[in-house]
Amino acid sequence: MLEDRDYMRQPESRTASVSFTMVLLIVNAVVFLIQMATANLPNGLELQNQYFALSLEGLRHGYVWQLFTFQFMHMGWLHILFNSLAIYFFGRTVETSLGSHRFLGLYFLSGVAGGLVQMLFAWAVGDAYVPVVGASAGASGLIAAFAALNWTEPFTLILYFVPVTMKGRTLLWVSLALAAVGVLDVHSQIANAAHLGGLLAGYLGARQIIQGGLPQWRNPFSRPVSRRKAFVAAAHHQVSWRVAQPEEETGATDSFIHHEVDPILEKISAQGIQSLTSRERAILEAARKKMK
């Protein structure tokens, strides 16, 4: 039977009692209030920029913690508002799909990568003393991860009160293009290089988690993802699927498993979840329900 196969047995899952997405939003808000309260103290703003905002000069002095602290700081109310909206709308789906710990790791990976790319850009143009703050690099990583999870699936975003339907790949390419064009303006007050770095890190990180390997190429010496891991990953991603039910009811017989389910799991192991067709996803979802 389906549930008797070792790669089809899922570990007992526990629903996270705390949403890391909401924790990030709360921490950002608290830090911002502390910023506002201490900025008017003697040398308050100067100390913030010198020790906690990200700058090339700070890294030269060994303040490596700036790669993390700058992600919780913001320049004003609109700055934190837009970053919070991006974290909220995209972060919830990414956290539900990948799990809380992977979500948090992906967020900080994108933030650090974005900060490093911004510092490389600052070194290139000679802005060693310009401080960088904001959660936009991490938020950009969540946007890219959301795009990777919904690569060929249409979804609707509300942009300036206008509903826009697109696919994940369109969202990623548009975001990359906007960041790349912004980088060309060396006098811009927006850290576009950080956005670009965050997008790339978020996409590659999400693909690493989904596929168990880097996109577009495969290491011939790496072990393929097991069927069990492929099925568990697929089950975790069911939240973002919008598929129709299969035309015929599928039974959990050995013949059905061998001819229908096994090839799908092999395909996930080799090509990733986003390579599945709507019918294949529906069959896998039906098999998962049978397993329960």
Q: How far apart are CA 77 and CA 122, in angstroms?
A: 25
CA neighbours closer than 13 Å in the CB half-sphere of residue 25: 17
Please answer whether residues 109 and 197 qualify as being in contact, where contact means their C-beta atoms are separated by less than 8 angstroms: no
- Looking at residue 225, its pLDDT comes to 45
Q: Rounded to a whole number, what is the largest CA-CA distance in the chain? A: 76
Q: Are 201 and 193 in contact (CB under 8 A)?
A: no
Nearest Cα neighbor of 123 from 172, 176, 39, 54 is 54
Contact by Cβ (8 Å): 233, 273:
yes
pLDDT of residue 274: 59
Element (H, E) at 93: helix 77-98
Q: What is the mean pLDDT of each run of 10 residues along the chain (292 residues)?
A: 43 60 96 92 90 93 95 94 95 92 95 96 84 95 95 83 88 95 84 95 92 48 46 47 42 61 73 67 74 60
pLDDT of residue 204: 95
Contact yes or no for 136/74 (Cβ under 8 A) = no
CB-CB contact of 145 with 130 (8 Å) = no
For residue 166, the cross-strand partners are: 155
The candidate with the shortest Cα–Cα distance to 34, out of 74, 81, 63, 82, is 74
Q: Rounded distance, CA 168 to CA 194, Å?
A: 21
pLDDT number for residue 221 = 41
Q: How far apart are CA 263 and CA 242, in angstroms?
A: 21
Indicate whether this model's pTM tops 0.85.
Answer: no
Cα→Cα distances 131→112, 191, 196, Å:
15, 10, 18
Token pair belonging to 3 = 């549930």
CA distance 93 to 215: 21
Domain map (residue ranges) of the chain? 20-211, 224-291
- What kind of fold does domain 20-211 have according to CATH? Rhomboid-like fold (1.20.1540)
Q: Which residues contact 7 (CB under 8 A, 6 or more apart)?
A: 226, 227, 228, 229, 230, 231, 265
How would you classify residue 84: left for phi > 0, otherwise alpha for psi between -120 and 50, otherwise beta?
alpha
